[in-house]
Amino acid sequence: MDNKQYELLKYQIELLKKMVNVDDNPLYDYVIDYNISREQYNIFIDILSTFSLQLRRQSGELAKDGVKYFKAHKESMLSKHPHLDTKVLNELSIEDAPTYEAFSTFITPFLPEDVKPLTLLKRANQQGIYTDICEYLISESQK
């Protein structure tokens, strides 16, 4: 793709963003603005899901058989994203309370340098994605 095509594509994306209500999709707007790839986005969502399971277990919403589901979810993440840090992933336990520090440590290596994990959480929460864990981790980040 030459520079002219690239500039046209950027302009078209800019126009599309003006056609869509960005206030309804703040996470997607952030993903576009910070050039977060599909894979990086999917890793973020998978990590949110993992931490959400931990939170649900802590609050008693996830039954004992949730342990099997949690393990299967982690295995699925490794098969979809083989470059994930297996040590960090294996250290995550369903019995542990999720923390902002653990979330940030886990997600940061996969994000563009200028992307802040807390901003991602806030945008996901505003868009209604995994609001339970987003609100919890946002609160944790302020401690």
Domain containing 137 — which CATH number?
1.10.3750.10
pTM given for the model: 0.85
SS3 92: coil
SS3 38: helix
SS (H, E, C) 5-16: HHHHHHHHHHHH
**Rounded to whole angstroms, how far apart are CA atoms 57 and 66?**
8
* Structural domain span for residue 73: 3-141
pLDDT at 21: 81
Determine how many CB atoms are found less than 10 A away from the CB of residue 93.
Answer: 13
Please count the structural domains in the chain.
Answer: 1
pLDDT along the chain (143 residues), means of 10: 87 82 88 91 94 89 78 88 78 89 93 96 97 98 91
